[in-house]
Structure 1
Amino acid sequence: MRQFISILIISLLFISCNDETEIPAGNDVDDIKMRLVITIPPSTVYSATKAAIGQPIHESLVSEIQVLVFEDQKYRYRVPGISISSNTAQTTFTAHLKSTGSPVELLILANANEAVVSNEPSLDDSEDVVKRKINREFDNLVSNFPMYGVYKFPAGLSATQKQEITGIKMLRSIARVDVMATEVSNFKLAEVKAYRANNFLQVIPNEIGVMKVTIPSVPDGSAANVNSRMFPVAEEDLNEFSAQLYLPETSSPAESNRISGATCVVVGGYYNGSDKLSYYRMDFDPDNKDNSFGQILRNHKYIFNIKKVSAPGWDSPDDAANNQSAHIVAEVQQWDDNTIDMSFDGEHHFGVSTREIILKNKAGSKSAIDVATDLPDYTLQWADADGTPVGNESQSLADEYFTVEKNPDGSQLVVTALQNNTSDDAGPARNFVITAHRWKISVSIKQKYDEAASRVISLLTFNTGLGSLGSNIIASISPEGRAGGLRGILDNRNNFGPNGTVVCGGYNLIQSNVSNNKLTDALFAAFDVVYIHYMSNAYFGNKDAEKVHNWLKAKKNRVLIASYDAADVSKYLIAELLGGNSDIKFLVTNNGGFTIAPPDADNSYFISTGPFTSGAYTPISPDFVFRNFDYYHGEILLNTESAKGITPLLIGKAGGIVLGVDYSRRIVYIGDTDLGNYSLGTGGTEKNRINNTTGEISNDASKLMANVFAWITNTVLYGE
C-alpha cells in the first residue's frame, strides 16, 4: 500500500508541473518575465531501526504559487506562478512582474491560493498587515503544505534585470510530529493522535524574512479545538511513527491552563504484553526548559522518544488528553529543517548547520556553526587532509591559523582566523572532527582571499558649499573646512584599507564642478557613493536630483548621502527623495547637541556591533551627545511619512532625525554637515566631535561616523 501511495504522489507531482492556469491579478504586470527557483528544506525520515532513509515527497510538493509584490514596503499587486516544475529538492516557476525604480520585495506563497484569494490584500497594505491577513483553516493538512519565501530587489526591477533568480528558500507553515518507542521492551506502539491543535494557521510568519523562526505566529481568533484523526501504527513499522502527523503553530498556554488547554499528543499501545489498549499523554517541552510548554514552531520536527512506560494508561484517548501525563517518560527532541546532517539513534541526537567554514581574508574574521544536540560535552580534534583525527580531543582548538571555540552550552562553534591572507592563492585550510557519542563529523575550514581587499570605492563631492571632501588621489585637493575630520577617517588606511578595520582598497575621493541642472548621467555613473552636501538650491536643481536618484536605483550597491542642513540647501533633492520638505524642521538656533538614538535591533550595527564599536573598540555610550556646531541644522520629524523606513542614529532637540539610514533605499540622511567637522564650534569638546584630522578612532563621535562608512563600504562591496 505504501509503495502505491508513493507512486500516486509522484504521478500527481509531475501532472502539476505544467499548469499554466492564472488567477487574475487585476494589474497589467507583463513588463518583465522572470524565472524563479525556490528550494525546500530536506524532509528526511530519521530511523533508529530501519536501514532505509526515506524522503517524504508530500512534504515538498508544490502545485500552486502566488507572488505578492511590495514596492517601498507597501503592497502593490499579486501574480500567479506559472509553468511550475517541481521535485523534492526545488521548484522552478515563471512570474510576470512590473518594472519599477522603487525597492521591491516578493513574498512567495506556495500551496496557498485559496488563502490568498479569500484574504485579498489591499493596495498600500504594509507587510505586517498582509501577513496577518493571509490565514487558512487547519484541516489536518489533507492538501499540500502551505509554504513561504521572500526575495528582495533593493534597486527595483527593470527590463535589464537578471531573468532567473535562484536560491530562494522556503519555510513550511506547519510542524511535523514523530513518535519512537524503540527503547522500551514492555510497550507496543499502536496509535497516535493529536489534541487541541489550532483551527487556523498563518501562512507567513510574523518574523518576516527569517529562515529560522523562534516564536509562533498564531492568527487572531484562532481556537485550539481541532483533534486529529487516530493514526494506526502498523506491525511492520517496528514501534516507529513518522511523516504522518502535522500540526500548525501553537503558543504556550498560561500555566493554569496547561492540562485542559495545551496542544498535546496521545499515544495508544499495549503495555507489558496486555491485549488491552492503554492511552498516554505526551506534551511539548513538558519540563518547560525553554519556557515554552506546549509551544509548536513551523518548519520544525518534533520527535517524542519514549524512554519508559511504568504502568497501564487511560482507557480512552480522550481521558488521556484531558488529564496530566502519567506512567510514561518521553524525551522531546526538536530541530528546524534547515539543520543539515542531523543524526538520531533513539537515545541522542546531533546536527550541524554546515560542514564547511569559509572565512574572509582578514585576521579576526569569524564564522559560526550552529549545533543542535543533547550532548553538550562533545569534543573537537584537528584532522589531516583525509579527515583522520590527529592530536588530542579537546573542548576548543587553536593553531597558528585558526581557533575553534565552543559556546558553554555547546549550541555553537565559532571559528576565527588568526592571520591575514593577502594573496590570491588558496590560502590556509584545516580540518577538524567533532566527536559526539558514536558520531564523528568532519568539518573543513578555508580562508580565502577577498577581492574586496583591492576594490577602491569612488566617492563624489562638489566644489561649492560646505562639507566637500575634496580629492585625495590625483591633484589632491584639501577638504572644505567642515569635512576635515571625516576626510581623515576615510584617508586612514588603518580604518579603510587592505589590512584595515574594514577591508577594501580604500576611498578614492573626487571633487567635481557643479552646474545647475547640467550634471550628466555619465558623471554619476563613474561613482559608487555620491555625497550631496551643503549646497545652495541654485547649484543643485531638480533635474540633477532626478539624475542622482535614477543613478541610485540603477544598481543595488550604490549609496547616496543626502543633506538637509538648512532650508536653502538640497530643496530639490529632498523633494525628490521624500516627496517634499514639509516633514523637515529646520532649526536656526543652537539648542544643544544631538543625542544617540535609543539602541535597538535596527541601529545596533552603528552603536555596538559594527567594526568600529566591537572587537578592539567599545560600543557607543548611551549618554553620548554629538555637538551642534552652529545655529543651523535639519531634522526629519519622527512619526511622519518622510521618516518611514529611516533608522534614526542621532536625534535633535525637536525630536527628529539628524542622522539616519534607509537600508532598503541605500540613503544616508545628514541633517548637519558639521558631523564631519573637526573644528570645535559651539560647545565642542574632545569627546563630542571628531577630534582629529588624521583618522584616529578615539571617541564616540568618530566611532559613529566610521561605522556609517563601514556600512556604506559593505553595501558597495557586497550589495548588503
Structure 2
Amino acid sequence: MRKFISILAVILFFISCNDEVEIPAGNDAGDGIKVRMVITIPFSTGYSKTKAGIGQPIHESLISEVQVLVFEDRKYRYRVPGISINSNTEQTTFTALLNASPLPVELLILANTDEAVISNEPSSGDSKNVVKKKINRQFDNLVSNFPMYGEYEFPAGLSSTEKQEITGIKMLRSIARVDVIATEAMNFRLAGVKAYRANSSLQVIPDEAGSVKVTTPSVPDESTANVNSRMFSVAEEDGNEFSAQLYLPEASSPAESDRVSNATCVVVGGYYNGSDKMSYYRMDFDPDNKENSFGQILRNHKYIFNVKKVSAPGWDNPDDAANNRSAHIMVEVQQWDDNTIDMSFDGEHHFGVSSREIVLNNKAGSNAAIDVFTDLTDYTLQWADANGLPIGSEEQSLSDDYFTVEKNPDGSRLIVTALQDNMSGDAGPVRRFVITAHRWKILVTVRQKYSVAANTVINLLTFNAGLGNLGTNLVASVSPDGRAGGIRGILDNRNNFGPDGNVICGGYNLIRSNTNNNRLTDALFAAFDVVYVHYMGNAYFGNEDAKKVHDWLKAKKNRVLIASYDATDVSKYLIDELLGGNSDIKYLTANNGEFAVAPSSVDNSYFTSTGPFTSGSYTPVSPGFSFRNYDAYHGEILLNTESAKGITPILTGKAGGIVLGVDYSRRIVYIGDTDLGNSLSGTGGTSDNRINNTTGEINNDASKLIANLFAWITDVVLYGE
C-alpha cells in the first residue's frame, strides 16, 4: 500500500509541474501586469530510527492550483488564478496577471483550494477578516493536495514598473500531521492508528494571517467535531513507526468537563505483551495541558506521539478507547511547527534549532538567541574551524576573544554575545561552533557587522494641541507637554538610543507640528518615520487627517503609528479609521487602579523579557508589575472583540481590556492612557510603577517596558520588520 501511495504521489507531482490550466477569475480579471511569484514550500521532516533514507514526503508539498485574492486599501476587489505553475518539493513558481492600482495592494495566495474559493466567492468590498471566515472547505481526510496559504503586499500600490518576479513568499499548510512512534515500548507492537472527532471543515486562511506561524487554531463556526478517520494499518515490518499518513484540521481545546467526550484524539491499536488479541489505547494532544491547550491542534505543526510504555491490555475496540480516558499507556507528545529548521527525530530523541546563523551588530555586548527544541539538555558546544571541523574540547558554554555562547539552564536557548566593538564594516569577526546532541551535529556561524543604522536618525511627529506631545529637540528645543516628560527623556538619552546606545541608531529627531483640522497634508506625514497622535480633541484631528495618516502608514513597511484612545472626546476619527469604530472600547472616568502586565506569551515577551532593555545587563520586568494609573481617564480595547483582533496586549486595565498593545502586522501601537509617558507621580504613583525621571535613566520596570516599546518601533523603522 505504501508503495502505491508513493507512486501515485510522484505521478501527481509531475502533473503539477506541467500545469497550465486556467480557471476563470471572479469579478475582474487582471489587465496584464504579469508578475512571476516564487513560493517557499514549508519544510517537511523525514525521519526513521529503523529505516535509513526516508526523504521528505512529496505529497505534503505539491501545489497544483493557485488562486490569488487581491485587496486594495484593505478591501477585496478581485481574484485571478495562478498560471504556468511549476512545483517541486522546495518551491513553486507561477504567474499572476494583476491590475495596476495606486492604492496599497495585498495578495492572499491560496494553493490547492480552487473549489473552496469558487464555492465561497468573496464579495467586492469584503474585509480580510470576512474573507478569512468565508473560505472554508470540508475535511475529507485530505485525499487531495494540502490547502496552503501565504501573503504578499505592495504597500505603495502596483504599477507596470513593478519588478516582474517576487520571491520569498512563505506558505502555511492549513492542516497538521500526526505521527506515532512506539520503538521504546518493547512489549507492544503497533498495528493501527485512527483519529476521532476531527473537525468537519477547516478554515484555509488562519485568523493570524500575515504570520509565518500560528499560535491559536482557526476553526469555522459551522464545523462540528464529528469526523473519524479510517483505521490506518501499521505493518510489522514498519518497526513500530507510523508517519506521513494521518493529517487533521485545526481543533480548539474543549472545556475541561468535555475533554473525554469532545476532544479530538488519536487511538492506537496493537498487541500487548505478545498477545494475539488487538488492544486499543487513547492518546490526547497536550495531555499535560502545559499551555492550557488540552486537545488543541495547530496548522502546519507536526505532532509526534512517542509511546514510552504500555502497562496493560487496552480496550477491546477503538470506539470504547476513544470515549474513555486514556489508560495503560504512557505517551510523550512532541510538537513543532514546520518552519523550525534542522528538526530531527529518531524514535528516542528529538533536536532542532531556529537558526544556523547569528548576525550581531557592531557594539560590544550585543547579543542574539537561537531557540533549541530538544529533550537532550546535555548537548555540547565546540568551536569549529573555517571548514566547519570541530576544534578544542566539547563544553557546555564557549568563550574566546570575540564571542561567548551560553546555554539556558534547561537548554532551550543559546545566547551569543559580542565581546568587542567592530568598526571594520562587514569584515568583522566570524566564528563557527558545532552543537553535538546524541548522533546529530549542527554547525552554527556567528558574524559581527558594523551597523549603518548608527547613522540613521528617526523622525517622530507629535502635535501642539492636547496632552502628551513630545515637543522638539532640534536647535530651537521646545519642552514636551508635562505628561510626556518620561518618554522624552528616554528618547533623548543617547545611552538608550544613539550610535553607541543600547539600541543603535542615529537617535530621535522630535518634531512638533501645528494641527489644522482636516487640512494636514500628505507631504507633512511623508517626512516622518513615526507619527504619534496623542490626546487631542476631535476638533483638532479630523476624519480626513485620519485617512491621510493611515495611507502614510500603509505606504511603507518601515513606518509606525502610535494611536491614542484615552477618552471619548479624543482620536474618534483615527480610531474609527483603524478599528472600524469605537464600540469595542470601554472608556473609564474613574481611577480604578493600576494597569497590569498582560499574561506572558511569545508575542509580548519582547517588551517584558527579551527586548534590549530587559536582557543583557538589564533584568526582565517583574511578572507582578503594574503601571501607575495617573488619573481618572483612560480607554481599554476590550479583549475577544473584533477591534482587539491582531493586537498583542502589553498592559491591561481593570475592565480586562488593552491599555497598551501592538498590532505587529499593521505596525500600530495603541495607547489607552497618554499618561504612560508621564514622569510625575500622580494618583497612586510610586518610584517603581511609573517612569520616575526625565533624564532617560532606565531604572525600574516602567521605564524598561516603555524603552522596549520604542526599541521595537526603532527596529521597524530601521529594518522594516
345-354 or 603-612: bigger deviation: 603-612
Q: What's 1:359 paired with?
A: 360
CA separation of 1:551/1:183 partners in 2, compared to 1, >3 Å: closer, same or farther? Answer: closer
CA separation of 1:515/1:717 partners in 2, compared to 1, >3 Å: closer, same or farther? Answer: same
2:12 is the counterpart of 1:9: yes
CA–CA separation in structure 1 for the residues paired with 2:672 and 2:298 = 44
677-686 or 104-113: bigger deviation: 677-686
- Provide the secondary structure at the position in 2 that maps to 1:425: helix
CA separation of 1:129/1:563 partners in 2, compared to 1, >3 Å: closer, same or farther? Answer: closer
Within a 5 Å distance, the mapping from 1:615-630 to structure 2 comes to 616=618, 619=621, 622-628=625-631
2:153 is the counterpart of 1:141: no
Identical columns (%): 67
Contact 1:46 1:53 in 2 (8 A): yes
Within a 5 Å distance, the mapping from 1:402-481 to structure 2 comes to 402-460=403-461, 472-473=473-474, 475-479=475-479
Deviation at 1:332, TM superposition (A): 6.6
Contact 2:462 2:470 in 1 (8 A): yes
CA–CA separation in structure 1 for the residues paired with 2:678 and 2:187 = 79
Within a 5 Å distance, the mapping from 1:515-664 to structure 2 comes to 521-522=522-523, 524-530=525-531, 549-560=550-561, 595-596=594-595, 599-600=598-599, 610-612=611-613, 616=618, 619=621, 622-628=625-631, 663-664=664-665
Task: Give a deviation string over 1:544-564, Cα, whole Å, max 9, x none.
Answer: 776555444332222345678
CA separation of 1:35/1:364 partners in 2, compared to 1, >3 Å: closer, same or farther? Answer: farther
CA–CA separation in structure 1 for the residues paired with 2:131 and 2:35 = 23
Q: What's 1:22 paired with?
A: 24
User: Which consecutive residues of structure 2, in runs of 5 or more, have no partner in the other structure?
Assistant: none
Q: What's 1:337 paired with?
A: 338
CA–CA separation in structure 2 for the residues paired with 1:460 and 1:374 = 49
102-111 or 79-88: bigger deviation: 102-111
CA separation of 1:7/1:678 partners in 2, compared to 1, >3 Å: closer, same or farther? Answer: closer
Contact 1:470 1:476 in 2 (8 A): no
In the superposition, the TM-score normalised over structure 1's length comes to 0.76
Within a 5 Å distance, the mapping from 1:186-585 to structure 2 comes to 192-196=192-196, 198=198, 200-202=200-202, 203-205=204-206, 208-213=209-214, 221-228=223-230, 230-231=232-233, 233=235, 242-249=243-250, 263-264=265-266, 266=268, 279-281=278-280, 283-284=282-283, 288=287, 297-301=298-302, 335-460=336-461, 472-473=473-474, 475-479=475-479, 482=482, 486-510=487-511, 521-522=522-523, 524-530=525-531, 549-560=550-561
CA–CA separation in structure 2 for the residues paired with 1:512 and 1:107 = 38
CA separation of 1:184/1:33 partners in 2, compared to 1, >3 Å: closer, same or farther? Answer: same
Contact 1:150 1:168 in 2 (8 A): yes
CA–CA separation in structure 1 for the residues paired with 2:294 and 2:638 = 40
Deviation at 1:593, TM superposition (A): 9.7
Deviation at 1:105, TM superposition (A): 5.5
Deviation at 1:61, TM superposition (A): 0.9
Contact 2:595 2:653 in 1 (8 A): no
Contact 1:457 1:507 in 2 (8 A): yes
Deviation at 1:59, TM superposition (A): 1.7
Q: What's 2:171 paired with?
A: 170
- Provide the secondary structure at the position in 1 that maps to 2:426: coil
Task: Give a deviation string over 1:186-210, Cα, whole Å, max 9, x none.
Answer: 9998x64525362624234455555
Deviation at 1:387, TM superposition (A): 3.0
Deviation at 1:53, TM superposition (A): 3.9
CA separation of 1:23/1:280 partners in 2, compared to 1, >3 Å: closer, same or farther? Answer: farther
Deviation at 1:502, TM superposition (A): 1.8
CA–CA separation in structure 2 for the residues paired with 1:664 and 1:333 = 29
CA separation of 1:717/1:231 partners in 2, compared to 1, >3 Å: closer, same or farther? Answer: same
701-710 or 57-66: bigger deviation: 701-710
CA–CA separation in structure 1 for the residues paired with 2:668 and 2:307 = 56
Deviation at 1:270, TM superposition (A): 12
Task: Give a deviation string over 1:496-516, Cα, whole Å, max 9, x none.
Answer: 112212221112345678888
CA–CA separation in structure 2 for the residues paired with 1:523 and 1:392 = 60
CA–CA separation in structure 2 for the residues paired with 1:404 and 1:164 = 39
Contact 2:595 2:654 in 1 (8 A): no
CA–CA separation in structure 2 for the residues paired with 1:329 and 1:567 = 56
Within a 5 Å distance, the mapping from 1:23-102 to structure 2 comes to 23-24=25-26, 26-27=27-28, 34-68=35-69, 78-95=79-96
CA separation of 1:259/1:342 partners in 2, compared to 1, >3 Å: closer, same or farther? Answer: same
Contact 1:364 1:418 in 2 (8 A): yes
Deviation at 1:89, TM superposition (A): 0.9
CA–CA separation in structure 2 for the residues paired with 1:573 and 1:261 = 42
Residue type of the alignment partner of 2:504: V
Task: Give a deviation string over 1:611-634, Cα, whole Å, max 9, x none.
Answer: 445552553874432545xx9x88
Task: Give a deviation string over 1:508-543, Cα, whole Å, max 9, x none.
Answer: 345678888887655543432345678899998887
User: Which consecutive residues of structure 1, in runs of 5 or more, have no partner in the other structure?
Assistant: none
- Provide the secondary structure at the position in 2 that maps to 1:713: helix
CA–CA separation in structure 2 for the residues paired with 1:152 and 1:161 = 12
Task: Give a deviation string over 1:565-599, Cα, whole Å, max 9, x none.
Answer: 99999898788778899999999xx9769953662
CA–CA separation in structure 1 for the residues paired with 2:478 and 2:648 = 32
- Provide the secondary structure at the position in 1 that maps to 2:110: strand
Contact 2:252 2:297 in 1 (8 A): yes
Deviation at 1:78, TM superposition (A): 4.7
Residue type of the alignment partner of 1:198: A
In the superposition, the TM-score normalised over structure 2's length comes to 0.76
Contact 1:197 1:250 in 2 (8 A): no
CA separation of 1:67/1:510 partners in 2, compared to 1, >3 Å: closer, same or farther? Answer: same
CA–CA separation in structure 2 for the residues paired with 1:259 and 1:572 = 48
CA separation of 1:146/1:469 partners in 2, compared to 1, >3 Å: closer, same or farther? Answer: closer
CA separation of 1:7/1:514 partners in 2, compared to 1, >3 Å: closer, same or farther? Answer: closer
CA separation of 1:626/1:546 partners in 2, compared to 1, >3 Å: closer, same or farther? Answer: same
Task: Give a deviation string over 1:64-83, Cα, whole Å, max 9, x none.
Answer: 12344567877666544344
- Provide the secondary structure at the position in 2 that maps to 1:696: coil
CA–CA separation in structure 2 for the residues paired with 1:453 and 1:683 = 39
Residue type of the alignment partner of 1:596: F
Q: What's 1:111 paired with?
A: 112
Give the CA RMSD over aligned residues: 5.4
444-453 or 458-467: bigger deviation: 458-467
Residue type of the alignment partner of 1:410: G
CA–CA separation in structure 1 for the residues paired with 2:573 and 2:315 = 76
Deviation at 1:495, TM superposition (A): 1.3
Residue type of the alignment partner of 2:21: D
Q: What's 2:714 paired with?
A: 713
CA–CA separation in structure 1 for the residues paired with 2:181 and 2:502 = 51
CA–CA separation in structure 1 for the residues paired with 2:183 and 2:332 = 13
Deviation at 1:13, TM superposition (A): 1.8
Contact 2:426 2:448 in 1 (8 A): no
Deviation at 1:440, TM superposition (A): 2.6
Deviation at 1:392, TM superposition (A): 3.3
Contact 2:562 2:671 in 1 (8 A): yes
Contact 1:594 1:627 in 2 (8 A): no
CA separation of 1:656/1:243 partners in 2, compared to 1, >3 Å: closer, same or farther? Answer: closer
Contact 2:596 2:627 in 1 (8 A): no
Residue type of the alignment partner of 1:359: L
